[in-house]
Each structure stands twice: as structure tokens, then as C-alpha cells.
Chain A
Amino acid sequence: MLTAETNTAKIGLMLAAILLFAAVVGIMLFLATLFRGRRADRWVAYAYLTPTLLMLAVGLVYPGVRTIYQSFFDAAGNAFIGLDNYKTIFTDGDQLTVLRNTVFWVVVTPFVATAVGLLYAILVDKSKFESAAKALIFLPMAISFVGASIIWKFVYEYRPDQGNVKQIGLLNQVLVWLGGSPQQWLVDSPLNTFLLIVVMIWIQAGFAMTVLSAAIKAIPDDIVEAARLDGVTPWGMFRFVTLPAIRPAVVVVLTTIGIGTLKVFDIVRTMTGGQFNTSVIANEFYSQSFRSDNQGLGAALAVLLFLLVIPIVVYNIRQLRRSEAL
């Protein structure tokens, strides 16, 4: 019952697993009805929560604590080495490049994606083709990072600059049309990191646009009307009416994209595999843990990722509190 070879067997296994799960849930719900008495409700609640809490404890809490512990050990996970792994991250040349790239990703992606999303949301607002226009920007969100990486790798594709060789990548062809010579886009550092960031921006702009567009449409009409009667310029309208009104949504979009960007590893792995100085923390974690078998350093990188997420979340929550207090 653990493995399956053929497609039919796989689907059979899947159906069996779903049935098994349904049976477990059914039994749990039935047992919960057996509680009687004044405090029955409390026991029902605990019964309902047991599977969830068990899974979270085993699957998130324990592994998290274990990884933090592991980050103080050496590559094989045997000898305690204190903070040496963290020291490596902040002193080793390769690791410093990883940190630098991560900073590029986290600073550039949220702001550019949000700016594009906001601009586009304003431009197509109330236009005849609004929903179709939005769908175009929105669609990359449904595409996997791997799929998006392949799409963009094709855009960046390079053919040697020789007489009869034609470019098949759009970017190089545009360059040739403009009279330039084709470049190996994914090889030249640090430009290659920014070209990878383009992929993330391409995916996230749709998210920014959707949330900000809804926020814009939720601005009360009377405020807009009052500002208009006061003769506010369009820029003034944006600066003093629209932007303050959607500020909480902008903060949410920036922080959400920021967190997502910190953790993205698929793009780097699919497009360059972290070569040519393009690695970021999330990718380096994978390489160190599974390729270089340096468990300690991998664990330290994962913990660093966790630590970097926290200030963004805290900022987000504080901003939300502030806007609710107003």
C-alpha cells in the first residue's frame, strides 16, 4: 500500500488514501458525538483539533526547533561548533555574494512589482477592457515558478554572434535589431541577478494589481467628490486622496511580496542553478543541505531565512494596528 508503479495503480492508491482519510475523519466525528455532560463541548473541541495539532506539532514545530538546534553543528551534524555556521554566512566570500543577491531581490522585487501593479490598476480602472486587461497581468500568477523560469530563459536565450547564426531569444534579437551585439544575459554578474528578479516581478505584479485595484475601488465616493470640488489636481488626487486611502493595502502588498521573495528558490534553481553568482539564501539552503551535504550550514541558512521574515511580519502587523487605530 505504500508505492505504486503504473498510472492506474497510482490513481488507485490515491483513491485508497482519500477513503482512508475519510474513514478516519468519520470515526473522529462519530467519537466526538459520544461525549455527554456539562463539559461535553470542550471535549468535542479537543477531539476536532487533535489531528490538526498533532500534524502541526510533528510537521512544523518539532522540525523548526530541530533545525535551529542543528544549525550549531558541523557539516555531518555530529560536532557542536557554536556560531561558526553563522560566521561562515557573514564572512565567506561566496556566502556574502548570496547575501548581497538576497538584498537585491528583497529590495527590488516588492517595490517594482507594487509600482507596476498600482500603475496598471490606475490605468485600466473603469476602462472598457478592464477585466480582460487585468486577466493578462494576472495570469502569470497561475504559472509555476519553474514554468515562468523556462518562459524567461527563452527570452534571454543566447546564440553566438557569428555571421549566419540567428538569435532565437527575444531580448538578444531586439538588441541586434537596435544594432547591438548579443549578450550572455544569464552569465554576467550582477546583471543576471536583476534579470532573474524580472521573473519574480512578472509573477507578482498581478497580485499587487488585484489587491490595490480593489482598495482603489473601495475609496468612498464622497471623499473623491469633495476633493474634486476643491479643485485638486490629478497628481494631488493621487498623492493626497488615493495613496493615503490605500496605504494599508500597499503595506500588505509590499510585505507579502517581500516575504515571498525571500523564500523563492525555484527561479534561481531553474534558470542558473545558482551559478554565475546568482544564488540567494533559499537556493543556497538547498544546495548546502542536499548537494554539498553541509547540514549545519544549510540549517543555519534556513534559520537566517526565518529570522529575516520576522521583522517584515512585525512591521506589517504594526502598520495594520496603526491604520486600524486611525
Chain B
Amino acid sequence: MTTTTPPAATALPADRGEQSAAAVAKRKLSSPWASLAAILIAVLWTLPTFGLLVSSFRPERAIKTTGWWTFFSNPTLTMDNYRDVLDSESGAGLGSYFVNSLVITIPSVIIPLTLATIAAYAFAWIKFPGRNILFLVIFALQIVPLQVTLIPLLTLYVDAGLANTFWTIWLSHSIFGLPLAIYLLHNFMREVPATLLEAARVDGAGHVAIFFRVLLPLLRPALAAFGIFQFLWVWNDLLVALTFAGGGDKVAPITVALANLSGTRGTAWHLLSAGAFVSIIVPVTIFLLLQRYFVRGLLAGSVKG
């Protein structure tokens, strides 16, 4: 987990006139060459995904003998690959791993989000001895690579009899997500004018009432931003799941199943292509729907990796 603060980037793109520096720079670079370069990058960035997507709908035999680009001269479509990869009787059984991914991800977003909101509130709006040093420590914890924590944590889980359960994964993802979440939410909370909180306090509202009535409505974008971060992070995670979930379909998420499939049946492209898109569809949908919040979160603070 890492974090960094882009200062110049905190302002969201505002509506401006035609004379941005980039626009000027572009004009000379400009026209045919600039467009060509942009299109080239866009194609390079899209084509690999597109090729696999097309392949996932082609019959197994066709995938193995001809390139996906021949699809357009000889189009045959099938859903067999998706049926095979999801079904646990005859195929790779990705369906139950998909459910595991959902079961893992939802609490792993809710728990750190809630705890971090409460902690960030304490840091932002309550004065107490040790506040600055504690906040600094949490801030610094963001740079600890997960790798450093895995084996001792695994030993703790085994000793507690929790090994290979959802509980270890929920707990781990929640812990790993907390420092970034606290840091991000704290920054947002500090921006709320103190007078708003003072007014509520004079009215006799306690901390809980102040939080729900005054802060929560204002914090919604920040909560959404971190929620999406954490969702993508947890859904796409491989390392934590490999370490704590074991290999079977009882707990392991879809990323683990896909990585194993790629290792054991690396040339079964009809399964790999369909499997990849089953795993991609959820984060991409969330991402497209909530892109606005995601970008805002990116610009406001940080990225973990």
C-alpha cells in the first residue's frame, strides 16, 4: 500500500477557454500526426482486450486453429465457452469462485470504510493527546508492502484456527485498506467548515448525531471514491487470496482460479478467454458507472498498490 499526494492535481478539471497550454502545444505538433499518434495509442490499448473478447465467443476448435482476426471473414458465435468455464460438473467451475469473490469483496469494503470513517472523524474533529503522532504513524503505515506482513499474519490465523476461512481474508483486506482510507477521509473531513460542526454542537448534538446529520451528506463522494478503490483492489487481488484462501473453491476468489487455470491449462484459450471476461465484467461495470468518483479519488490523494 502506498500513497502520495498530487498537489497540483487536486482541482478538478474546470471548464476553460480554448487556450490551454496543451492545446497550444498540440496545434503545432498537430493535426494529422497528432491524430495519428492518438489513434495508434488508442488502438494499441484496446486491441489486446478486444481480441480476447472476440475469442471468448468463438468455438474451441476455431480458437485453437485460427487467429481471432479471421472471425470477421468467418463469423461463428457460441456461448459454450462461458457455459464450460462456469459449470462445475463439466468445466472449470468458475461459478463458485465468482460467488466467493462477491462474498470476499463486500465485507472487505464495508468494514474498513466504516472503521476508517469513525477513526478519521476522531482525528479530524476531536482534540486528544497523541493525536498528531498517531495520525503520522497511520500515514506512514501506508508504505508497508503487504509482503512484509503475510507470513506472520498467516501464522497468527493458523494458531487461531481461522486458516482458509473467509474471516482471514475479510480481516486482512480490512487491515490493509485502513491506512489509506483514514488518510483520504481525514483530508476530506478537514475541508468541512468548522462552523457547521460548531452550530450542531451548540444545538446539543453529540458526536454520532453530528456525524450523521452534518458530515455524512458532505462525505458521500469521498466515501464513494474510497469504496470503489477498495472494491477494485479486493476484487482484483491475487496475493492476499493466494496466501490466506487456499486453492479450493470453498474460499478462493476468481483471480486465484484464473491464475491456476493459466498455470495448469495455459493453452485452453476457450476457457481462459471466457474466464477472464467473467472476472473482468464486475469491476469494469462498477468502474464505468462510478468513474466520476474514481477519478476524484485518484486526484484527491493516492493510489495503493
Contacts and interface: CB of A to CB of B under 8 A. Distances in A.
Interface of A: 2-5, 7, 10-11, 13-14, 17-18, 21, 25, 29, 32-33, 41-42, 44-46, 48-49, 51-53, 55-56, 58-64, 66-68, 70, 116, 119-127, 133, 135-147, 149-155, 157, 166-170, 173, 202, 205, 207, 210-211, 213-219, 221, 223-225, 227-228, 233-235, 237-238, 241-242, 245-246, 248-249, 252-253, 255-256, 259-266, 269-271, 273, 282, 285-286, 289-290, 295, 298-299, 301-303, 305-306, 309-310, 313, 316, 320, 323-324
Given A17-B170, A218-B11, 14 more contacts: A14-B166, A64-B144, A67-B148, A123-B26, A145-B236, A153-B272, A154-B272, A168-B66, A249-B8, A252-B4, A263-B2, A266-B238, A302-B150, A309-B145
Contact of B5 (A52, A228, A246, A320): A320
B136 interface: no
A241 B21 CA distance: 7
B246 to A, nearest CB: 11
A269 B238 contact: yes
A25 B118 contact: yes
Given A21-B111, A218-B9, A273-B263, A13 B166 contact: yes
A301 B148 CA distance: 9
Contacts of B26: 122-123, 125-126, 234
Tell me which of B4, B12, B152, B156 has the highest count of chain A C-beta atoms within 10 A of its own C-beta.
Answer: B4
Contacts of A301: 147
Tell me which of B22, B110, B262 has the highest count of chain A C-beta atoms within 10 A of its own C-beta.
Answer: B22
Interface of B: 2, 4-9, 11-14, 16-30, 34-35, 37-38, 41-42, 45-49, 51-52, 55, 63-69, 96, 99-100, 102-103, 106-107, 110-111, 114-116, 118-119, 121-123, 126-129, 131, 134, 138, 141, 143-153, 156, 161-162, 165-167, 170-172, 174-176, 178-179, 182, 206-208, 232, 235-239, 242-243, 250-251, 255, 258-259, 262-263, 266, 269, 272-273, 275-276, 279-280, 283-284, 286-288, 291, 295, 298-299, 302-303, 305
A122 B13 CA distance: 14
Given A17-B170, A216-B20, A252-B4, A33 B48 contact: no
